[in-house]
Amino acid sequence: MRSLEGKLKTSFIISAVALSLIGLAFVHSAGSYWGAVHYANSPPFIVKQAIYMVVSIGIAIAIMKSPLTSSPRTWTILYYGTILLLVAVLIPGVGAVRNGSQSWIAFGPFSIQPAEFVKVALIGKLACSMDKIGRKGVFRFKHLGLILLPGILIMLQPDLGSAVIMIVSSFVILFIAGYPLRFFIFLGVAGVGAFVALIAAAPYRLNRIKSYIDPWNDPLGTGFQGIQSLFAIAPGGLVGHGYGNSRQKFLYLPEPQNDFIFSIIAEESGFIGAMFVLFLFTILLISTFGIAIRAKGNYAFLMVAGMGSMIFFQTFLNVGVVSGLLPVTGVTLPFISYGGSSLMTTWLAAGTIMHFTKNSKR
């Protein structure tokens, strides 16, 4: 009879691999027409995504087995290395501009998005730092500085979605590490002020909020993506139109293989297919926090819980956006959306989680 640790590990691996394979299939379906029109001279999305997936899983296995994953020095190097990349991406001629954001560093046909990698590096760095003080609930400006530095650099790109995911995941670590409740009340008040300031600094964000409240107020502008996403989800019905038979991917929904791939999944596989994907994420969630609870030591607990929080908050944000429950922002669906940086970041987190199953409590 297998131990609980073995069952949690197996459930985690199976659900993660299944989600990546589903992503590979729907990247091919959702992006086939878009790629043929806009990237006719580039390799098909499925080829590039398959390469990303193999490389990402390979790195995850290496992270899972390497003793360096447990070393605080490793996470310190990764954290400051990604900070340097965030600075580099803002340099004209180095950072590439796409969809109004200077968030990528291009290497020929491939590119990396440093904002994705800093999310994992920050969680690792915070877990190391919080472990040193234990569960004392001691406020440290150092921890806030570790979060604000990459947060400001990401907002300069600008990339609100990545900044929100990174900050929320970081605050989860501070909360479970024992930070006092008054700290989070202060952050809530300050967050409202920062939110108002961000809207004032970039009026397009106010337009996004208006389109969230009433997308039909500007159906060909700020409300376009949200409306087209609902036009994909609603007609899918119970079983969908069938794999490859999406209508919205024919240039109605912009770049459907990326942030709005869940809309195509719902359109082609219906309510049943969409719920199956969410079921796999639920299994992943249960397995992750089962591993966290049984992790040996505060450091391992913080690391696993932090990585899991990042994955699941990003999932919640993406599904909320495509279903119209949240304002539109550029956030990928973990394991599934097209993109090397997004997929690799998710598997980096998965590999780290799996690393700490080796020393779980019985």
User: Over the stretch 86-132, which tens digit does the pLDDT of each residue have?
Assistant: 999 998 888 888 777 788 887 766 788 999 999 999 999 998 888 66
Letter for the amino acid at 192?
Answer: V
The count of other CB atoms within 10 Å of the CB of residue 175 is 16
pTM of the model: 0.90
Q: Where are the alpha helices (DSSP H) in 156-217?
A: 160-176, 181-201, 203-213
Q: In angstroms, how far is the first alpha carbon of the chain from the final one? A: 14
- 339 DSSP assignment: -
Report whether the peptide linkage leading into residue 215 is cis, meaning its omega lies within 30 degrees of zero.
no
**C-beta of residue 236 within 8 angstroms of C-beta of residue 22:** no
Q: Six-digit token pair at 158?
A: 């600008």
- Average pLDDT of 183-190? 81
Residue 116 CA, chain-centre distance (Å), reads 7
Domain spans of the chain?
4-355
- The per-residue pLDDT for range 206-247, each reduced to its tens digit, is 777 777 777 777 777 777 888 888 889 988 889 999 998 898
150-154's contacts with Cβ under 8 Å and 24+ in sequence apart are 150/82, 150/83, 150/86, 150/115, 150/118, 150/122, 153/83, 153/86, 153/87, 153/90, 154/86, 154/115, 154/118
- pLDDT class of 1 with cuts at 50, 70, 90: very low
Highest mean pLDDT range out of 57-61, 136-140, 144-148? 57-61
| Mean confidence (pLDDT) of the chain | 86
Tell me the C-alpha to C-alpha distance, in Å, between residue 58 and each of 62, 97, 192, 278, 300: 6, 29, 41, 25, 22
